[in-house]
Amino acid sequence: MKKAVILLSGGLDSATCLALAKSQGFSCYALSFSYGQRHSAELLAAARVAKAIGVVEHKIVSLDVGLFQGSALTDESIVVPDYQEGEAIPVTYVPARNTIFLAMALGFAESVGARDLFIGASSIDFSHYPDCRPEFIDAFQTLANLATKAGVEGDKFTVQAPLQYLNKAQTIQLGLSLGVDYQLTVSCYQADELGKACGQCDSCTFRQRGFVAANVQDPTLYKT
Amino acid sequence: MKKAVILLSGGLDSATCLALAKSQGFSCYALSFSYGQRHSAELLAAARVAKAIGVVEHKIVSLDVGLFQGSALTDESIVVPDYQEGEAIPVTYVPARNTIFLAMALGFAESVGARDLFIGASSIDFSHYPDCRPEFIDAFQTLANLATKAGVEGDKFTVQAPLQYLNKAQTIQLGLSLGVDYQLTVSCYQADELGKACGQCDSCTFRQRGFVAANVQDPTLYKT
């Protein structure tokens, strides 16, 4: 069975990605990070999702919290803003986050013999984070095959971002067709300890609108 | 003053790199990793070097040890081999190591406002690790400027690998001209707790030959 490493945040997109990889017959290694994010409920969600969908291993890596500064997701003194229309990169941006996550996924993949990395990045219904765009994903795949023993020996890595061009409603429909239970997932940037969502941040807004557009009941638990 | 992040392993190359960045007027942020390497004497050396040359901050990041498998540098059950001529990638290769290190350096750099990343990678007198080659460095720089808020907003990152085309003797001569005290550094893949070197591994061999070729007394402390 081919192996894949799946970046699993515990949110809607990465859960869909894991279910998709699984449906494609991959033996799945899930990778999550504790990086000082406000929303530690995410990690509990990631564990629930990994268990529900089924993985060979779910590794949670702790990253040095002090490395990331100036983001509303890692710095309690910066308020998580309500959703705003526009193309500006919001203060919830975390410096080099997906570069670091994919780099760690690459090391993990080469160690366990996986050649496919799955990431739930999308450039539709997103917060304009630069490290979710297709040009970033492509550049990382190029790097991966220059950086590694496997890559230079011709046993190439593929970075799969299957949600790249799906809007949130399409992602939800895909996930439901694969049996994903979205009630297990947490997307909110400032969920409480029980995983209840604020309903106001970018991430909540995209998610809510996705369920509406997909004409599916929103199973999210909200704070109020 | 312009800021730079310098990857500092505690070895000869990274110490030279730090001294060079400092001589070029950069305000230096050194970054080291505890990733389960055999040679923890490296980290003590990194701390000595950072202090001797002078940095604004020296951050040591702990990475999850279990992520890297199958390398002689992280797995006690794999013997560090003696130096062998040839172009094969040896078992001391650590999966995606420089990708991970540069990714973390990128996050740190964007957080502190640095735009230059220094890495002591060289493709001369090296162990044929793919992530030391110029094509890897170039690909990482491309990635960095697609991945980050600063990069896409035009405030570009530069990945500096000033030792890329220097042989070990040239690196040593450069470092000596900058006042580097190489006795503070540890290059050996299996140094003991006092930092004493084996004299047999790839890294020791390149270093020893470098001092001979540079016609400089080797200050390295050896085990026997």
Map out the domains of chain A as residue ranges. Answer: 3-214
Distance from CA of A221 to the nearest CA of B (A): 32
Q: Over the stretch A70-114, which tens digit does the pLDDT of each residue have?
A: 788 887 788 888 888 888 888 888 899 999 999 999 999 999 999
pTM, two decimal places:
0.95
**pLDDT, mean of residues B92-107:** 94
Query: What residues have CB less than 8 Å from B77, skipping those under 6 apart?
Result: none
In the sheet that holds A116-118, the strands lie side by side as A57-62, A27-34, A3-7, A116-118, A158-160
Contacts of B84 by beta carbon, 8 Å cutoff, 6+ apart: B90, B202
- Taking the C-alpha atoms of residue B101 and residue A69, their distance in angstroms, rounded to an integer, is 18
Distance from CA of B91 to the nearest CA of A (A): 10
The pairing of strands B3-7 and A158-160 is unpaired
Please report residues of B whose CB lies closer than 8 A to that of A92. none
* Whole-angstrom distance, CA of residue B44 vs CA of residue B85: 30
User: Is B148 within 8 Å of chain A by CB?
Assistant: yes
Q: Quick one: pLDDT band at residue B117, thresholds 50, 70, 90? A: very high
d(C-alpha A211, C-alpha A217), whole Å: 6
Q: What tokens appear for A135 in the block?
A: 């040009």
The dihedral of CA A205, A210, A212, A217: what is its sign?
Answer: negative
Q: Does A95 touch chain B (CB under 8 A)?
A: yes
ipTM for the assembly: 0.94
A 185-224 residues inside an 8 A Cβ radius of B: none
pLDDT tens sequence across B34-93: 987 766 799 999 999 999 999 999 999 988 767 777 788 887 788 888 888 888 888 888
Taking the CB of residue A113, how many other CB atoms lie within 10 A of it?
14
Which residues have C-beta within 8 Å of that of residue A11, sequence separation ≥ 6? A42, A45, A120, A185, A186, A187, A203
Task: Determine the distance in angstroms separating the CA of A4 from the nearest CA of chain B, rounded to an integer.
Answer: 15
- Both tokens assigned to B135: 């094509």
DSSP class of residue A83? Answer: P
Average pLDDT, chain B: 93
Contact predicate A11/A36, CB 8 Å: no
Polymer length of chain B: 224
Q: Does domain B3-213 have CATH number 1.10.30.50?
A: no
Neighbours of A224 (CB within 10 A): 5
- The three-class DSSP label of residue B28 is strand
Section A122-135 average pLDDT: 93
Residue B130 pLDDT > 70:
yes
pLDDT confidence of residue B66: 73
State the average pLDDT over residues A115-144: 96
How wide is the angle at C-alpha B57 spanned by C-alphas B55 and B60, nearest 5°? 115
CATH fourth-level superfamily of A3-214 = HUPs (3.40.50.620)
Q: What is the pLDDT of residue B39?
A: 67
Does A103 contact B107 at a Cβ distance shorter than 8 Å?
A: no
Whether residue A21 has pLDDT greater than 80: yes
The answer to whether residue A131 neighbours chain B at the CB level (below 8 Å) is yes
Q: How far apart are CA B189 and CA A53, in angstroms?
A: 41
Average pLDDT over residues B14-28: 98
Q: Nearest-CA neighbor of A147 among B33, B91, B139, B121?
A: B139
User: What is the rounded average pLDDT for all residues in chain A?
Assistant: 93
> Distance (Å, rounded) from C-alpha B144 to C-alpha B37?
26
DSSP code per residue over B66-107: GG--S-TTT-TTSPPPPP--SSSPPTT--TTHHHHHHHHHHH
Nearest CB partner across the interface for A111, out of B63, B69, B106? B69
Q: How far apart are CA B131 and CA A37, in angstroms?
A: 30
- Burial class, B71, CB count within 10 angstroms (exposed 0-12 / middle 13-18 / buried 19+): buried
**Predicted confidence (pLDDT) per residue in B139-193, tens digit:** 999 999 999 999 999 999 999 999 999 999 999 999 999 999 999 999 998 999 8
Check residue A86 and give its pLDDT.
83
Task: With a cut of 90, say whether residue A132 has pLDDT above it.
Answer: yes
**b/e per residue, B128-156, with b = 16+ CB within 10 A?**
bbbbbbeebbebbbbbbbbbbbbbbeeee
pLDDT computed for residue B23 by the predictor: 98
A148 → closest Cβ in B95, B108, B110: B95
* Cross-chain Cβ contact B111/A69 below 8 Å: yes
Question: Could you tell me whether strands B27-34 and B3-7 are parallel, antiparallel, or unpaired per DSSP bridges?
Answer: parallel
Separation CA A11–CA B32 (nearest Å): 32
Of B121, B52, B127, give the one whose Cα is nearest residue B85.
Answer: B127
